[in-house]
Structure 1
């Protein structure tokens, strides 16, 4: 990486290999958080779904996958390659998710994250608050189970 500017652009089916490369690099398989290519491909054509890629010099370093249902938006996946972490790329993607969701009419934002995931501090720093817990939601490679934390925040947009 040359350290050029981070550029966001919309993604689609043609970008799924890049998305999977980021996911494989950033999600530790022992926790069971990553999605399959089929899961991502199946979601992309649905109404209200969008994919945003973070690129640097044509290399995809991160992505965010989200959806809007009625007036609620959910951040389904956010990942940044290890080589791109600690550079603000996750924050850029999260801010874009919030802006895009609000522009699409969302009044409430949701996401789930594995308890202990280092991204939790990013979400809490952006104002997301714990609203629920799914016990033993993730199943890792070894069979270990991990809780999912449900976080939410209001966009401040009134209907």
Structure 2
């Protein structure tokens, strides 16, 4: 299976699957903000990339990256539980990082729940550094960790090599 060839930009029709994955994998215990309508807005936003990895008609993972001047913000990122630890998350993150570099981003920011050791470890393994603890970041109940990764200045010129 060539994982990289299974990644593409999301279509509006993907919004329902992405929203359910967000509810179940990211927003559990916090209420559900990323419903299909919010995902659709991101898919249609020219300053946002929504990438999906699709296999046999099902989305196995997704990422939503928003661009702000010379920064990118990885707003949501998830891989279906049954597909974790198979390289899907790494491939999706790599795709989004290349897109961010091409868009002119010098830095990518992302947040994770403080209690989510697996996510924090994943981002650390991919060159992200924890920069700040945010008490009550999520719904004023759960602490968050802000992470960031600086991209090489010549990233876009070399196509992400």
With the length of structure 2 as denominator, give the TM-score of the two structures.
0.83
Q: Could you tell me how far apart the structure 2 residues matched to 1:113 and 1:56 are?
A: 26
Residue in structure 1 matched with residue 34 of structure 2 by the alignment:
35
For residues 25-64 of structure 1, the aligned pairs below 5 Å read: 25-27=24-26, 29-32=28-31, 35-64=34-63
Superimposed CA distance per residue, residues 69-113 of structure 1 (whole angstroms, 9 cap, x where no aligned partner): 111011000011111111111111111111110011111111111
With the length of structure 1 as denominator, give the TM-score of the two structures.
0.84
Residues 69/76 of structure 1: CA separation in 2 closer, same or farther (3 Å cut): same
Aligned 8 A contact 1:73 1:101 in 2: yes
Superimposed CA distance per residue, residues 114-142 of structure 1 (whole angstroms, 9 cap, x where no aligned partner): 11212111100111111222211113xxx
Q: CA RMSD in A?
A: 2.2
Residue in structure 1 matched with residue 115 of structure 2 by the alignment:
116
Aligned 8 A contact 1:22 1:60 in 2: no
- Gap runs ≥5 in structure 2: 157-161
Q: How many residues align?
A: 152
Aligned 8 A contact 1:135 1:147 in 2: yes
Residues 153/116 of structure 1: CA separation in 2 closer, same or farther (3 Å cut): same
Residues 72/33 of structure 1: CA separation in 2 closer, same or farther (3 Å cut): farther
Shift of 1:45: 2.9
Residue in structure 1 matched with residue 68 of structure 2 by the alignment:
69
